[in-house]
Amino acid sequence: MSKLDWANFEQELTNCDVRKNPNFTSRIVPTKFAILGWYTPDLRALVRSVKQDNLIYIVDNMPQNFYEETLIKALLLGRIKDINTLLPRLDKFILDIDNWATCDMLCSDLKIVKKNYAIIWDKIEEWIKSEHEFVVRVAIVLLMRYYLNDNYFVKTLNLVTNVNSNYFYINMAIGWLLCEAFVKDFDKTYSYLEHTSTPLNSDVFKITSGKVRDSFRLSPEQKQRVKNMCEVK
């Protein structure tokens, strides 16, 4: 797709007669990019229309003038099947992420992680030390989605509990991950947090307690135990 072709595509993206709600999106997604208001299913349908042999060229050449284009690029990256082709493009893309929605959509579609646990783990250890808020959030959300398993469970808890941040979206991601960890293995997570020598900041405990409280997958007794622990911590 040439620059001219993409200009035509952007015009279509702007004018296409699909359901749009830019005002709603702008209220829940703070971003520097202009928002057109496309719904996610419509964007996914658009991305599915891209042929595999055009995929890399589009990823490498498409602009990011609109919020929706960041989502499209995140979805396109999720379709790359070769890890060595993906990683340099992923490294570059995550530096431009400025909102939770693009971050979380990218992570949800990176199914390639399931075939490359060790390789992506090494990248996560690198990204989680970044000074960029959403690079760190990418690392944490990937851990939550793919690494709360038998092989990586405790390593994941250890990695996130060593993150000490004042960034809201990083702490939200940690609280979300810890809630999912409680759902996956309550006793192991509780024991780890109770005995860890690394103090989590109070914001993380508040967020974790709130997400646990709102979960439909934990019992009232489990919720109370987490609430009590978080209050003590």
Look at residue 156 and tell me if it is in a domain: yes
Residues 110 and 159 in one domain: no
38 forms bridges with which residues in the sheet? 20
Catalogue the E-assigned strands of 5-97. none
**What are the structure tokens assigned to 182, written together?**
């409680």
Asked, for residue 64, whether it belongs to a domain, the answer is: yes
Same-domain status, 104 and 162: no
The torsion angles phi and psi of 103, rounded to 5 degrees, stand at -55, -50
What tokens does 129 get? 């030390």
Residue where one domain finishes, among candidates 63, 90, 115 = 115
In a domain, 134, yes or no: no
Number of domains in the chain: 2
In whole angstroms, what is the distance from residue 29 CA to residue 7 CA? 25
Domain limit, last residue, from 63, 87, 115:
115
**Can you give the pLDDT of all 233 residues of the chain as single tens digits?**
555 466 666 777 787 766 678 888 999 999 999 999 998 998 898 888 888 888 898 899 888 899 999 999 999 999 999 999 999 999 999 999 999 999 999 999 999 999 999 999 999 999 999 999 999 999 999 999 999 999 999 999 999 999 999 999 999 999 999 999 999 999 999 999 988 877 788 899 999 999 999 999 999 999 999 999 888 76
Residue 91 lies in a domain: yes
Do 38 and 100 fall within a single domain?
Answer: yes
Asked if residue 232 is part of any domain, the answer here is yes
Domain interval for residue 38: 1-115
Do residues 111 and 216 share a domain? Answer: no
How would you class 118 by CB atoms within 10 Å of its CB: exposed for 0-12, middle for 13-18, buried for 19 or more? exposed
Domain termination site, one of 115, 134, 161: 115
